Structure 1
């Protein structure tokens, strides 16, 4: 009975967090619409969606990793390396740049999966090592400078063009999130991911293929980071070997703000998207405030704000879990 009550309490707190992030996002949109003249302009909306699709993609990969109780610190470095690979391959064909960048991400994800599942290295250490290796590889491939993409192969259309009046990067993110929702909510592997997060040993005793599932999760995270790197290179016209710093923090913050527990075992694809959009919306509003002259914040403040968001939400999560556990003991 106590276990049941504890589980119910935790689920309720998770549902409250997911509802809270949606309400907060809606509140920010309403605030922006009322305060700024061009907030809901076509230019701002499309620019917002085009740019933040990269962060939404890495947040989704991070969400599945955190649901298993792991962490992936390599997503920023992977995106930077993939952007360089995509830029180098873009002169051959747009598809070469696209799939080459994704393949680079897959390689990093496979290495993460191998070190975590076969070598039994803690995810924090394993992905920290691959993050450093990815940044180093990006700098080596790029010769410590930005790598221009080809404008003749059609590669830039991936990040800069629209389809049916909607940015192509946003279409990509939307399709990937729909696929992520199917995996988590409709396929057995989604239940396996959550079961591993609840307890890896217990999941193994249940007969679940823990290593295979964990490897797939890290490979998926790497692939999505690689895809984000492709969009980065295509959107800005160059592979960026020094880009991606702090992206892992944005991804973790988006996932946690969306109500996913850092301890694993629960999560929502839709709430992760809402969390990513909420953080992005905060920065969008700050840019408008800079334009009005009320405040003057440099881009470096983004890391401070992300860290503050993450700290506040983690503290709230810890208190909700503590409260749920104490109620379960009553």
Structure 2
């Protein structure tokens, strides 16, 4: 009499189940890229609020919001550039130049104070775009040259930085930078409005589709009929306009055109955009992520200031280390999505 031996049961996944699992993993990877910075920001805010009694005070939050607004406007333009697979190193110098031009132009009225930096910085961005798109020069080299050139123009306008142009505190231009609405500074509301408009342009317009297409695969975008050169020119012009406008807003807030500002801002803007989930290789990114990246950098900076015993240089160390972790994570997630 033989005993029945149960044979092991082997489950075989059907192609449909494997495809469903792969699709789920790909969606999770995409969500991690898009919202990972937001989760980190929430955790950082909770940890800071539990560690420091002054972190969630109205004055501290208002200062963080105002200091974030100017970098956020610069990061807005940088997001469009990086989504196309480019880079713009000139924004820090354009930010400082825009502030000086706005302060100088404020003596002739608010319109001049706003239009002059937009015209000059937008023109420099246009030249960047033309050289990159038409002459096919490397964005790194072109924008590095513009960074040095804009800083040179700034120094020549201010007698090597010895002259500081002041804004009349009673002018409407100064009111634009220093007034508050519902207890929140006007520059913050302007920044929010610009991000809403930028998000609509990037996600809901044909131009936004071209931006993603150029960053995803430039040759394929050209074959589909996308205006590759015109799109590149447009995003670099937009980046120059955003940097100039941010500088003008900052001048209205400080009621002066400070010549030493903007140094290293291009790196902060790039860091914020990449931390927010935009791929340096192009083709993937969100403005909401860039805004979160800016806020996260400012929270890190504020926490270091709250500690008090740490030098401000630690903020650069922490930001650099965090950026390296984000880039490594993005690379891993990107490879995982391609495998799936």
Give the match for residue 106 of structure 1.
122
Give the match for residue 305 of structure 1.
318
**Pairing partner for 2:212 from 194, 207, 225:** 194
Give the match for residue 274 of structure 2.
256
TM-score after normalising by structure 1: 0.91
Give the match for residue 185 of structure 1.
203
**Pairing partner for 2:333 from 315, 320, 323:** 320
Q: Distance in 1 between matches of 2:319 and 2:118?
A: 27
Q: Distance in 1 between matches of 2:76 and 2:248?
A: 16
**Pairing partner for 2:227 from 209, 225, 231:** 209
Q: What is the deviation of 1:6? A: 9.3
Structure 2 unmatched ranges of 5 or more: 1-14, 16-20
Give the match for residue 89 of structure 2.
73
TM-score after normalising by structure 2: 0.89
Report how many residues are paired. Answer: 322
Distance 1:175 1:212, change over 3 A: same
Give the match for residue 243 of structure 2.
225
Distance 1:81 1:7, change over 3 A: farther
| Greater mean deviation of Cα atoms: 274-283 or 91-100 | 91-100
SS at 2:85's partner residue?
A: coil
Q: Distance in 1 between matches of 2:337 and 2:266?
A: 29
Larger gyration radius, structure 1 or structure 2: 2
Is the 8 Å Cα contact of residues 135 and 242 (structure 1) preserved in structure 2? no
CA RMSD in angstroms comes to: 2.3
Q: What is the deviation of 1:271? A: 1.1
Distance 1:105 1:175, change over 3 A: same
SS at 2:137's partner residue?
A: coil
Q: Distance in 2 between matches of 1:187 and 1:172?
A: 22
Following TM superposition, the consecutive aligned residue runs of length 4 or more in structure 1 with deviations greater than 4 angstroms are: 5-12
Is the 8 Å Cα contact of residues 274 and 323 (structure 2) preserved in structure 1? yes
